Chains A and B, each alone.
Chain A
């Protein structure tokens, strides 16, 4: 027994001393955050393959223009000014002078030409054309007029080209000119020797663990105050929240119910903002019942959206009148139907449409959402609709399964889903025949609204302020005809340690990129 005791005592001592002997080094100048947790994140994505994760990418690479801090307007980045010809087919961008790449080389217009050509190159098979709607079909030519001027020649008018260019990360031609576009996605360059123009420079990347950056002393806005920035990867939000509470990280995304728990706690600052994503029910009008406007309107009257957002969702969502996610996209309130909760009206409309109130109907509602927010919301919708004789059967599927048949227009009746619906990414293709890959060539819902299509056609080639007016007209039409069941836009949250100074975060769809002035961030207190 003595021998066992001799072994046991050192083992116990080692366990007890471990925390002391190997404590995490505390460097007050390094900010560690979970920047890729939540819907705007995507760990270890590379430029042009970024379906999300742009908040982090913008620390290393920069576009010509980005969103501003609250994504309400554009903010110059590597470009300082831009202008178009009369019909918006030729755009000229003036570039910022004196910008250096992380390796000290000068940034020039050739880098912009190289970047756009690479992003649109079919051999590189990037996601850029799909998301930016800029491809070799739409862009005739991009050329460097001089070192600091770039010209984009388009095949058709595009009054909002700068918005499309938000997704064009500028990459260094001198470092990547020899890269075979076909090897683009397999290249290790982005994780081993990445060179950008952003406020931070690549230091160390450990796959599935973290990505560490050093400050860029040559950043055009001035050297960052932080001595390091680290993006730590987490498999889920709960783990990140626990790490925040343990003091191991200073920032993470948090879902609404979790973030509300941090409010009022002096140790944390809660950031919030509109997600820019509208949640709605798309009715499949190939099912004749939903081609009847009375049925669609009845569903709107049957659901108390205000009560759901205020009570069940605890104020973490705002009711929307149409697909637009921001108030600037809405016409005056008196021009809109607020579809205030009115189950009697709903029953009456359903009866007029031929529904027999004594015979409840079962309707499957498919969704790809798996968060508690949407589970609660869908449960509430289910309860409200049961009051008017509609039994909702919720079906949750993973994204590939959902996508595999949703866009065929077959096999679903109603889908509870979301769509990014900001000014620059208004989901026009959703409403146009052939705009999305539906097998029957019809718009996603299967319903064609000629008046709305005419408005969309005008908006596509209109510049502000006419564009804003047209978007509001589209909103009015959608609202009055209940073309879809417009529910709410979620507010999304981030939680940061109160020790961070001048830190800023905004829940931009897919992470922006937006102007967060990361060079001013510091860790204190």
Chain B
């Protein structure tokens, strides 16, 4: 296992560099740069001012030089400053990352707990009214776009009922408390958890249906084991692999963010920040964000593989 872990970590290093180089190249070949972002088509701007902006951001240097400069600074712990507003990239990412981890983490937790529970519940009642109803609802959960669900939730729970604020992370006219944070979190987290609930439910249901028909489950039942012990002691642990895969694949959402949900609920997360960075051709920010996202994806993949071995003793990496 240790050898496997070491090998995976070593492979991750060139993969990481390749990711940053490819992303830098893609940004480079995209049309327009930060100077083009600053030119407001509806206002006059002189070409001298344009050149000054270009020089200020070092865009007069060759792309290779800029890439290596960026990499050199990263190794010194400096992600640079945003082109668009001069703010430090690391501090910006840190702030937005906290918001996204809070929102996406809550949504993922809700999705995993409710989704897995419903998956087990429906699998044990296959072809019942509960099964048909919840499976149909899961299709709705998967297919309803978050911007539609978001607007509906806002209209009902914020505008009509007035239970929850329409957006933001905290009240603007009082100090934030745990309670106000939860209150601001409820609606966006619920909207964002709709798809995970549906996905976890469907994966768990499918895996459980396969397992509860397995020979060893029939044997356990034949030995007179209680249904509760069969379900939680034998069926569920063996149905975990697909759930772990889904969980592993979902981990990057903790840092990537959710553009639509963040936009509708004015939640200052990574999704909207990424959009701002792309629209503004904010290269330092884009590179910084990609760096974080790449690291998390590589780590999540590794953790998922390791979790397989923990969940299923038959899987060995040595």
Contact = CB atoms under 8 A, between A and B. Distances in A.
B48 A509 contact: no
10 contacts: A49-B86, A122-B52, A131-B45, A209-B172, A228-B173, A242-B159, A243-B167, A402-B41, A429-B44, A509-B43
A242 B173 contact: no
- Pairs A-B, 7 closest by C-beta atoms: A400-B32, A130-B49, A185-B86, A208-B268, A437-B47, A403-B36, A404-B32
B85 A206 contact: no
Interface stretch (B15-23, B129-137, B174-182, B238-246): B174-182
A135 interface: yes
Contacts of A350: none
Interface residues of A, number: 73
B43 A420 contact: yes
B81 interface: yes
A22 B32 contact: no
A366 to B, nearest CB: 11
B42 interface: yes
A18 B45 CA distance: 51
B31 A400 contact: yes
B42 A418 contact: yes
A137 B48 CA distance: 11
B169 interface: yes
Contact of A44 (B85, B88, B164, B180): B85
Residues of A contacting B: mostly:
mixed
A338 interface: no
A127 B52 CA distance: 10
Interface stretch (B218-226, B257-265, B299-307, B310-318): B257-265
B44 A403 contact: no
Interface string A203-241: 000111110100000000000000010101111101100
Contact of B41 (A245, A248, A368): A368
Contacts of A247: 162
Contacts of B56: 125
B103 to A, nearest CB: 13
Nearest to A236: B263
Nearest to A415: B41
Given A22-B179, A400-B281, A509 B266 contact: no
A24 B174 contact: yes
Nearest to B30: A401
A236 B96 CA distance: 18
B40 interface: yes
B167 A19 contact: no
Residue from the set B41, B170, B264 with the largest chain A CB neighbour count within 10 Å: B41
A133 interface: yes
Given A49-B85, A207-B92, A212-B173, 9 more contacts: A18-B163, A18-B186, A125-B52, A131-B43, A235-B262, A239-B266, A398-B32, A401-B32, A404-B33
A191 to B, nearest CB: 9
Given A22-B177, A239-B265, A419 B38 contact: no
Interface in B85-127: 85-88, 92, 95-96
Nearest to A245: B159
Nearest to B275: A235
Contacts of A212: 172-173
Given A130-B50, A400-B36, A22 B183 contact: yes
A357 B207 CA distance: 65
Nearest to B184: A22
Nearest to A510: B43
Nearest to A231: B172
Interface in A455-505: none
A210 B173 CA distance: 10
A19 B163 contact: yes
B204 interface: no
A509 B163 contact: no
A9 interface: no
A374 interface: no
Interface in A1-45: 15, 18-19, 21-22, 24-25, 27, 30, 32, 44-45
A103 to B, nearest CB: 24
B171 interface: yes
Interface in B249-281: 262-266, 268, 272, 279-281
B36 A235 contact: no
Contacts of A25: 171, 173-174
B168 interface: yes
A208 to B, nearest CB: 4
A51 interface: yes
